Amino acid sequence: MLILVMNCGSSSVKFAVLDPQNPSEVPLSGLFERVGSVGVGHAGASATIKRGSEKREQALVGGQYADAFALIRAELDAMGLSAKLGAVGHRVVHGGAVFNAPARITPAVLAAIRQCIPLAPLHNPANVAGIEAALEAFPKLPQVAVFDTAFHQTMPPAAYRYAVPERWYTQHGVRRYGFHGTSHGFVAERAAEMLGQPLDNLNLITAHLGNGCSVCAVAGGKSLDTSMGLTPLDGLMMGTRSGDVDPGLHEYMNRQAGLSVEEVTATLNKQSGLLGVSGLTNDMRDLEAAAATNEKARLALEMFVYRLARAIAQMAVALGRVDGLVFTGGIGENSDYVRAATLKRLQVLGFELDDEANKVAVRGQSGRITRAGSPAALVVNTNEELAIARETAALVGEN
């Protein structure tokens, strides 16, 4: 059975059609950019369609989600694959405290996802728009929502509560939710396979380092703590996001510079992190290249690594015993520099880098990068599309 996996963001929509039993082949995938929200088409919308290894770009006439689904359907028809499509799996960013697992989409589930919009005002509206358009485009297919937050619902209260008045929690849901759950869960399973041990017995720290970055303490396959919180702005330094800052910062910048709450938040989301400190780029590749000659780029790198190592040590406290550390995401999978510098800082936890293995583990090579006798550190390739397809197939199969 083929699953259509949809990842509808605020300005772009990514999709992939794949068979979770045969993940090495992705017959159809693509990206839509500048797609309008429901009812508002964009003239400049474009589509990049990949059939196997063949790639082409075209305008997306109409520019709405419905047009994107019509194009996917036409591609599947042309490839003779429409009859094999069995379900649609949607990535949904925020499931609040309502969803601790993927959910088959029903009117009640859609309403609950809408209710989480205040918690993720940038992401959940696009997810909802994508689901609504998919229900119209594929009315006969079962559809499933897979939440970024669900994996972290196993965190204990000591990890997920903030030290704020209880009524903020009970009335407004102010607590830590965590994100990137699909990826943390997927790479923890892969790491157990690579270590040849049952996931149930393992205490792992997973570091998902892409444009957004978070670490997670995974004990026996369950999240015990994570660095992202109420929103994906918390925790590690990221491409354009600040990670944690002093909670007094908003008021201070309001008094000193006359910035509104919204302006400070926007700056922390879009102009901070690697970009804000280097003044050059949010892209780790470019930053590493610039660091040879540019002091601000060097500082941004040093801060990224320092804060990452510190957050990993925090996760070690959550676990008590660490059996393995996993690097994943675009930076985790490709930057031997970030991995080496982070592990150097983590000698306090007993990690000893295997330099050769670390240099080899780039461009999609997974493997162990610490010496025998050291706790294991692994490079693992994440595959969120596959994880969503598997979860979707499992849920649809059961019903």
Q: Under the rule (CB under 6 A), what is the footprint of ligand ADP?
A: 210-212, 239, 283-285, 288, 329-331, 334-335
Shortest-Cβ-distance residue relative to ligand ADP: 330
CB 171, min distance to ligand ADP, A: 33
Cβ closest to ligand ADP, residue 212 vs residue 243: 212
Count of C-beta atoms within a 10 Å radius of residue 195: 17
Q: What whole-number distance in Å separates Cα of residue 323 and Cα of residue 140?
A: 45
Please give the structure tokens belonging to residue 286. Answer: 């470019």
The dihedral through the CA atoms of 160, 162, 165, 168 has a sign that is negative
- Closest among 234, 237, 205 to 318, alpha carbons compared: 205
Cβ closest to ligand ADP, residue 56 vs residue 285: 285
Given a contact cutoff of 8 angstroms between Cβ atoms, the answer to whether 187 and 206 are in contact is yes
Residue partners of 289: CB distance under 8 A and separation at least 6:
none
Q: What whole-number distance in Å separates Cα of residue 45 and Cα of residue 60?
A: 5
Cβ closest to ligand ADP, residue 41 vs residue 332: 332
Given a contact cutoff of 8 angstroms between Cβ atoms, the answer to whether 34 and 63 are in contact is yes
Please give the structure tokens belonging to residue 275. Answer: 């970009």
Residue labelled with tokens 């305008």: 59
Indicate the SS3 state at residue 199.
Answer: helix
CB 337, min distance to ligand ADP, A: 7
CB 294, min distance to ligand ADP, A: 16
Q: In this structure, what are the phi and psi dihedrals at residue 38, rounded to the nearest 5 degrees? A: -55, 130
Q: In this structure, what are the phi and psi dihedrals at residue 41, rounded to the nearest 5 degrees? A: -80, 155
CB 144, min distance to ligand ADP, A: 21
DSSP at 375:
P
Q: Determine which helix (DSSP H) or strand (DSSP E) holds 175, and give its type and residue range.
A: none
Cβ closest to ligand ADP, residue 9 vs residue 125: 9
Cβ closest to ligand ADP, residue 240 vs residue 392: 240
Annotated catalytic sites, by residue?
148
CB 242, min distance to ligand ADP, A: 16
CB 237, min distance to ligand ADP, A: 12
- Closest among 110, 140, 146 to 20, alpha carbons compared: 146
